[in-house]
Amino acid sequence: MTEMQAGITVIVFFLVGLAIVYATIGIARLLVGVRPKPAGKLDAYESGEIPIGDVNIRFNVNYYIFALLFLLFDVEAALLFPWAVAYDKLGWLGFFEAVIFIVILAMGLVYAWRRGVLKWVY
């Protein structure tokens, strides 16, 4: 696998991804065609009313920190899935590697907890 082939495979992967997206939208547009959209169609749905108030406002930092922590531990879970699948074939070495991985992240959680970030202040 020379650099050239690796580069090509990346490009091919990217193009295939793009093709899938455009194919689905294209076929739908081909079959159905572009219909005239009535006035309220593309507005934000606000239970039947004309949307009021602004969306991009400055809200409290609580939300941001919670989103960040969620993202962190979500990725951790995502990484543990392949490990969980090949769990029996990896033997003890694989097991302890995962334990270390989990403990490190658990320490991060404890640190965030002690710093009082998880208390929903609102």
The total of other beta-carbon atoms located within 10 Å of residue 94's CB is: 14
| Inter-residue contact 79 to 98 (CB < 8 Å) | no
The C-alpha atoms of residue 11 and residue 17 are separated, in whole angstroms, by 10
Q: Is 30 in the site for other proteins (CB under 8 A)?
A: no
Note whether 84 binds other proteins by CB under 8 A. Answer: no
Residues in the chain: 122
* Residue in 54, 81, 86, 91 binding other proteins, rule: CB under 8 A: 54
Residues in binding contact with other proteins, number by CB under 8 A: 34
Q: Which is nearer to other proteins, 57 or 84 (CB)?
A: 57
- Position among 11, 15, 18, 61 found at the interface with other proteins (CB under 8 A): 61
Q: What is the 3-state secondary structure (H, E, C) of 79-117?
A: HHHHHHHCHHHHHHHHHHHHHHHHHHHHHHHHHHHHCCC
Q: Is 1 in the site for other proteins (CB under 8 A)?
A: no
Query: How far is 111 from 117, CA to CA, in rounded Å?
Result: 9
Q: Does 22 bind other proteins (CB under 8 A)?
A: no
Identify the residue among 43, 77, 107, 108 touching other proteins (CB under 8 A).
Answer: 43
Chain contacts with other proteins (rule: CB under 8 A): 32, 35, 38-41, 43, 45-55, 57-63, 65, 114-117, 119-122
